Structure 1
Amino acid sequence: MKKFQFKLDKKSDREIIKLAWPSIIEQILEMMVGMVSTIFMGRIGASAVAAVGMINMLMGFLQTVFSGLSMGTTVIIARVTGEGNKKEAKRALIQSIYMALFVGVILLIFGKMFSNSLLHLFFGKAKRDVLNIGLGYFSIILFNLPFFVVDIIVSGAMRGAGDTKTPMFITGGVNVLNVILNTMLVFGVQPLGIPAMGVTGSAIAVTISRIVAVTIRILVLYNLKGLKLNLNLKDDYRIKIDLMKRIINVGVPAFLEQAVMQGGFLVLEIIIVTMGTVAMAAYQVGINVNSLAFFPIFGLAIANTTLVGQSLGEKNYKKAEKYAYEGLKIAMIVAFIIGISMCIFARQLAYLYTNDKNVIDESVGIIRTFGIIEPMLAILNLCSAALKAAGDINYVMITSFVGLWSGRVFLSFALNGLFGMGMFAIMIGIFVDFSSRSFMYLGRMNKGKWKYLKV
Structure 2
Amino acid sequence: MPHRRSLRSPSAWGIALPARVPVAPWRATARTVAALAGPAVVEQLLNIGVDWTDAYLAGHLGTAALAAVGLGGQLLNLVAAFFGALGVGATALVARAVGARDPEAAGRITYQALEGALLLGVGGMAFALLSGPWLFAALGAEPAVRAVAMAYLQSVALSFPAMAFLFVGNAALRGAGDTLTPMRIWAVVVVTNALLAWALSGPLSPFRLGVVGLGAAAAGARTLGAALVFFRLWRGSGRLALPRQQPWVDRDLLARILRVGMPAGAEQLLLQLALLNMTGVITGLGTAAYAAHQIGLRVMSLSFLPGWGFAVAASTLTGQALGARQPEAGRRATLVAAAMALALMGTMGVALALGGPWLVDLFTEDPAVIAQGAAALRIAALIQPAMALSFVFSGALRGAGDTRYTLLVTAVSIWIVRLPVAALFAHSLGWGLPGAWLGMLADFAVRAFLFGRRFRSGAWQRIRL
The reply to whether TM is greater than 0.5 is yes
Does 2:381 correspond to 1:366? no
- Which residue matches 1:263? 273
Structure 2 letter corresponding to 1:349: L
Counterpart Cα distance in 2 of 1:166 and 1:200: 30
Structure 1 letter corresponding to 2:207: P
Offset at residue 189 of structure 1 (A): 4.6
Structure 1 letter corresponding to 2:256: R
Q: Secondary structure at the match of 1:81?
A: helix
Counterpart Cα distance in 2 of 1:220 and 1:54: 33
Does 2:89 correspond to 1:75? no
- Which residue matches 1:59? 76
Counterpart Cα distance in 1 of 2:182 and 2:348: 25
- Which residue matches 2:328? 318
Offset at residue 148 of structure 1 (A): 0.7
Offset at residue 409 of structure 1 (A): 0.8
- Which residue matches 1:177? 192
- Which residue matches 1:449? 459
Structure 2 letter corresponding to 1:208: G
Offset at residue 68 of structure 1 (A): 1.3
Q: Secondary structure at the match of 1:387?
A: helix
Counterpart Cα distance in 1 of 2:429 and 2:93: 48
- Which residue matches 2:7? none
- Which residue matches 2:111? 94
- Which residue matches 1:222? 234
Give yes or no for contact 2:372–2:434 (8 Å, CA) kept in 1: no
Structure 1 letter corresponding to 2:388: A
Among 60, 67, 74, which residue is 1:43 paired with? Answer: 60
Structure 1 letter corresponding to 2:374: V
Does 2:183 correspond to 1:168? yes
Counterpart Cα distance in 1 of 2:74 and 2:441: 20
Worse overlay, 153-162 or 110-119? 110-119
- Which residue matches 2:208? 196
Q: Secondary structure at the match of 2:207?
A: coil
Percent of aligned pairs with the same residue?
29
Counterpart Cα distance in 2 of 1:226 and 1:101: 23
Deviations 1:334-357 (CA, angstroms, capped at 9, x unpaired): 111111111111111111221211
- Which residue matches 1:33? 50
Counterpart Cα distance in 1 of 2:62 and 2:248: 51
Deviations 1:70-102 (CA, angstroms, capped at 9, x unpaired): 111111100111111110111101111111111
Q: Secondary structure at the match of 1:345?
A: helix
Offset at residue 289 of structure 1 (A): 0.8
Does 2:111 correspond to 1:117? no
Give yes or no for contact 1:83–1:313 (8 Å, CA) kept in 2: yes
Q: TM-score, normalised by structure 1?
A: 0.94
Does 2:71 correspond to 1:22? no
Q: TM-score, normalised by structure 2?
A: 0.92
- Which residue matches 2:152? 137
Give yes or no for contact 1:373–1:434 (8 Å, CA) kept in 2: yes
Unaligned segments of structure 2, at least 5 residues: 1-24
Counterpart Cα distance in 1 of 2:52 and 2:439: 25
Unaligned segments of structure 1, at least 5 residues: 1-7
Give yes or no for contact 2:379–2:434 (8 Å, CA) kept in 1: no
How do 1:322-361 residues align onto structure 2 when only pairs under 5 Å count? 322-361=332-371
Q: Secondary structure at the match of 2:60?
A: helix
- Which residue matches 1:422? 432
Worse overlay, 8-17 or 206-215? 8-17
Counterpart Cα distance in 1 of 2:455 and 2:79: 30
Deviations 1:180-230 (CA, angstroms, capped at 9, x unpaired): 11111112656xxx321121111111111111110111122223x533112
Taking only aligned residues, the RMSD between alpha carbons, in angstroms, comes to: 1.5
Does 2:286 correspond to 1:276? yes
Offset at residue 417 of structure 1 (A): 4.1
Worse overlay, 213-222 or 410-419? 410-419
Offset at residue 414 of structure 1 (A): 3.1
Give yes or no for contact 1:20–1:299 (8 Å, CA) kept in 2: yes
Structure 2 letter corresponding to 1:320: G
- Which residue matches 2:15? none
Counterpart Cα distance in 2 of 1:327 and 1:269: 32
Give yes or no for contact 2:129–2:154 (8 Å, CA) kept in 1: yes
Structure 2 letter corresponding to 1:33: V
Offset at residue 448 of structure 1 (A): 1.5
